[in-house]
Amino acid sequence: MKAPASGQEHLKILLRRGAIQRRVREMARQISRDFHGQRVHLIGVLKGASIFLSDLIRHMRVEVSLDFMAVSSYGKGSQSSGQVRLTKDLDTSIEGLNVILVEDILDTGLTLNYLVRVLQQRKPKTLRIAALLDKPERRIKEVKADYVGFQIPNEFVVGYGLDYAERYRNLRDVCILSLPPE
Ligand code: 5GP
């Protein structure tokens, strides 16, 4: 079925739902192997990572606990200015825990670079990053993602949790969104 687009917006499928599901399952297995016999504390970055996180944990075969953070970055439209601000902090301490920060997409790296600095100060036992998508071309700040689902080209994507003005998060495929000229 063709994904519904609004107005003159156009959607083109980049990653099909089956491929996403297979890759997420592989990532969960890899994490389960790496943390065999241990507990893993997953921190989802709201709101984009929520769909990825909820699929990921259901394939994990280790003990799992969850928490969430939210950030906002100042800037216009899809361009970030580089200033990141925490808008929702964790509910509980992460001291001594095996933490995996779960993010939808790694783009300039500003968000994850900031979050890693914040979380490292709280003395987790280990801190890793799982990102469904990675746009390496756009990197400004160096970030080492331990688990990456797909490297994608420098296009604006929506679906599987990713939005444009809060829309399209519910698409099961990841699609490239083209906007009408302003
Ligand atoms: P970074 O700080 O790495 O530049 O960007 C991370 C955040 O920017 C992501 O969590 C996401 O909210 C947003 N972002 C970056 N690229 C895209 C994209 O292609 N589509 C959408 N919907 N959001 C994006």
pLDDT of the residue at 180: 82
pLDDT of the residue at 71: 95
Q: What is the CATH number of the domain that holds 37?
A: 3.40.50.2020
Whether residue 39 lies inside any domain: the answer is yes
Check if the beta carbon of residue 78 is closer than 8 Å to that of residue 103. Answer: no
Whether residue 9 lies inside any domain: the answer is no
pLDDT of the residue at 1: 46
Range of the domain at 56: 17-153
Whether residue 98 lies inside any domain: the answer is yes
Best mutation site among 79, 102, 107 for ligand 1 pocket (most ligand atoms within 8 Å of CB): 107
Whether residue 35 lies inside any domain: the answer is yes
Single-letter amino acid, residue 146: D
Whether residue 175 lies inside any domain: the answer is no
Whether residue 2 lies inside any domain: the answer is no
Determine if ligand 1 sits within 6 Å of the CB of residue 104. Answer: yes
Reading the chain (182 residues) residue by residue, the pLDDT tens digits are 455 677 789 999 999 999 999 999 999 999 999 999 999 999 999 999 999 999 999 999 999 999 999 999 765 455 556 689 999 999 999 999 999 999 999 999 999 999 999 999 999 999 999 999 999 998 999 998 999 999 999 999 999 999 999 999 999 999 999 988 77
Distance CA 119, CA 5 (A): 38
How many domains are contained in the chain?
Answer: 1
pLDDT of the residue at 5: 72
Query: For the chain, percent helix, then strand, then coil, each to nearest 5?
Result: 25, 35, 40
